[in-house]
Structure 1
Amino acid sequence: MKKTIRTAVATGLALGVSATALMAGPLTDRIEAGEPIRIGFANEVPWAYPGEDGAAEGFVNAYVIGVLGEMGYDNIEPVVTEWGGLVPGLNAGRFDIITGGMYILGSRCENVTFSEPMAKVGDAFIVPAGNPKSLNNYEQLAEADATFVTGAGYNQIEAAERGGLPDSNVMTVPGPTEILAAVRAGRADAGGVTYFTALNLAEQSGGDVEVSDVSQLPDWTQSWVGVGFRDDDADFVEQFNAAQADYLGTEAMMEAVAPYGYAEGNLPGEMTTAEACETK
């Protein structure tokens, strides 16, 4: 099946969508009217990012496009925005689905309806080459009175607080590019991202930074990834979950995500979204 993909780059958020427009089933209504399914994501390599031609790249995009294909939908429009604009943009009707690679957290479950988990991923730090301050977990950040940089809206903000690092030691920036720049320039002692992102940033740095020893991070830093929808699209989420159950872990799915580093160890296991919303 040939996929029809159109690209739109979101430089701002349209907040003037009326409550009436977001009544039950707006995504289903859009599809029935012949409108594209708009998938929203930021520039988060290798999770979800725009390719050179504006195509939806990254393993979460590949996965979601695969599930939608199983459902019979191929009219898909990528919408790119900053990470901090994903949830507001979804709820403002700027796009229909968040494919950016978002952890299922209790604080997010209040504003987003997540699919059942599609991946399990842990945190990681990028640190200067040699890790001179031995920063491998959040408690060590607090003990060293370190300056920690992470992205606006990232789960690592809550994790740093849980680890005892004061807010005054946490710097927030738009995304991975700025996190790498802060660590490289010495403005931050460590940068908090996901393990996938940390590997990519270390490779980009040309040896200036390395990935922390993730084995020293506690189990509670493991998180589950879901695909985000508006609460009003519960009918579509139910259909998506049914298709996902048949697609997750298949040979076709693993072939689609393998180029981005997703492996069998990232399959979500038995965790449910309800459990993740309650415990994370």
Structure 2
Amino acid sequence: MTRRLILGSLSFAIASACVTQAFAGGLMDRISTGKSIRIGFASEPPYGFPGENNEPLGIVNTYVVEVLRRMGYKNIEPVVTDWGGLIPGLQAGRFDVITGGLAILQARCANITFSEPMMKSPVALLVKPGNPEKISSFEDIAGKGLTMVTGAGYSMIGYAKKEGVPETNIMQVPGPTEIVAAVVAERASAGVADYLSLREIAKKVGDKIEITDPDAMPEWTANYVGVGFNNDDKDFVAKFNAAQKLYLGTPAMMDALATYGYDEKMLPGDKSSEWLCSNR
């Protein structure tokens, strides 16, 4: 065999190996060697939070664990982190899957691969009791020149700007607890976050705050929650999507998630991850 033929064969073998590796994906390789599927999530009730021994609880965690079980995967390893560490941790290989109230947004789609959406998450406002400023939308906040508070990196920042709220009137804090604190202390006239997170916090605060009707917000402000995967695992995502299609909206799913406040209005409808990645 000539040297050129040997090199050509070697190049073909290397290329074939690379293609095979790319197709298999890191997570499939991990599973094939008997390793666990590491689910990364932050403590963000009711979407995802740790129970005893870090058991993955909450809407999205419960959903994902069941879909994986139906796919035949039961070796699950929960990994609790902070919200800001989810996507970097996935990219760094510390997790295989990330969950929680992870909205499918164009900026995030540039870095990770999302499953098809599994829920619609409406946005609401948090105000003082009696809603003294009479606000129920971003348009009200902008028109009255009020200060709002939301979480750092939340999609609501972009939504508010789109509706005319100047950046100088948008206070950013770590999360829902700090959003409530800012409104209670009157550092902001309204807090903005997803309705379920606000409702969860309101249970602990009592009559110090009030949540506006999420239906008063424009429909386009609703987020659609998906499950995050590494870009190398598109083959696994396709299998996950096929399995979740058979589970989403079933009585079994609705019963399992009802305890966390999930209802039929939160089903994602006909929105796809492809559309959301291009339009949100």
TM-score normalised to the size of structure 2? 0.88
Is there any run of 5+ residues in structure 2 with no aligned partner, and where? 1-20
CA distance in 2, matches of 1:197, 1:32: 37
User: Residues 112 and 251 of structure 1: is their aligned pair in 2 closer, same or farther, counting only changes over 3 Å?
Assistant: same
- 1:173-201 CA-to-partner distances (Å, cap 9, x unmatched) read 22111111111122221111111112112
Structure 1 residue 52 displacement after superposition: 4.5
Note the 1:197-216 alignment, pairs <5 A: 197-216=197-216
Note the 1:178-193 alignment, pairs <5 A: 178-193=178-193
CA distance in 2, matches of 1:180, 1:129: 12
CA distance in 2, matches of 1:153, 1:80: 19
CA distance in 2, matches of 1:162, 1:149: 16
Counterpart residue type for residue 260 of structure 2 = Y
Counterpart residue type for residue 199 of structure 1 = R
| Matched residue, 1:131 | 131
Tell which structure's C-alpha radius of gyration is larger.
Answer: 2
CA distance in 2, matches of 1:170, 1:86: 24
| 8 Å CA contact 1:126, 1:202 repeated in 2 | no
Is there any run of 5+ residues in structure 1 with no aligned partner, and where? 1-20
| 8 Å CA contact 2:25, 2:232 repeated in 1 | yes
Structure 1 residue 43 displacement after superposition: 1.4
| Matched residue, 1:268 | 268
| Matched residue, 1:36 | 36
| 8 Å CA contact 1:254, 1:263 repeated in 2 | yes
Note the 1:65-76 alignment, pairs <5 A: 65-76=65-76
| Matched residue, 2:249 | 249
Counterpart residue type for residue 148 of structure 1 = M
1:240 aligns with 2:240: yes
CA distance in 2, matches of 1:29, 1:140: 52
CA distance in 2, matches of 1:187, 1:52: 36
Counterpart residue type for residue 138 of structure 2 = Y
Note the 1:48-127 alignment, pairs <5 A: 48-127=48-127
- Higher mean displacement: 242-251 or 65-74: 242-251
| Matched residue, 1:277 | 277
- 1:95-114 CA-to-partner distances (Å, cap 9, x unmatched) read 11111121111121111211
- Higher mean displacement: 136-145 or 226-235: 136-145
CA distance in 1, matches of 2:162, 2:251: 38
CA distance in 2, matches of 1:147, 1:78: 38
- Higher mean displacement: 207-216 or 109-118: 207-216
- How many equivalent pairs are there? 260
CA distance in 2, matches of 1:136, 1:89: 36
CA distance in 2, matches of 1:75, 1:35: 8
- 1:9-67 CA-to-partner distances (Å, cap 9, x unmatched) read xxxxxxxxxxxx99961111111122211111111111111124421110100000010
User: Residues 23 and 183 of structure 1: is their aligned pair in 2 closer, same or farther, counting only changes over 3 Å?
Assistant: farther
Structure 1 residue 74 displacement after superposition: 1.0
Q: Secondary structure at the match of 1:171?
A: strand
How high is the sequence identity, in percent, across the aligned residues?
53
CA distance in 2, matches of 1:152, 1:80: 19
Query: Which is richer in strand?
Result: 1
Counterpart residue type for residue 216 of structure 1 = A
1:26 aligns with 2:26: yes
Q: Structure 1 residue runs of 4+, over 3 Å off?
A: 21-24
User: Residues 201 and 22 of structure 1: is their aligned pair in 2 closer, same or farther, counting only changes over 3 Å?
Assistant: farther
Note the 1:8-27 alignment, pairs <5 A: 25-27=25-27
CA distance in 1, matches of 2:232, 2:126: 38
Structure 1 residue 221 displacement after superposition: 0.8
CA distance in 2, matches of 1:206, 1:278: 39
Q: Secondary structure at the match of 2:54?
A: coil
| Matched residue, 2:154 | 154
Counterpart residue type for residue 77 of structure 1 = E
- Higher mean displacement: 201-210 or 46-55: 46-55
| 8 Å CA contact 1:22, 1:93 repeated in 2 | no
Structure 1 residue 135 displacement after superposition: 2.0
Aligned Cα root-mean-square deviation (Å) = 1.7
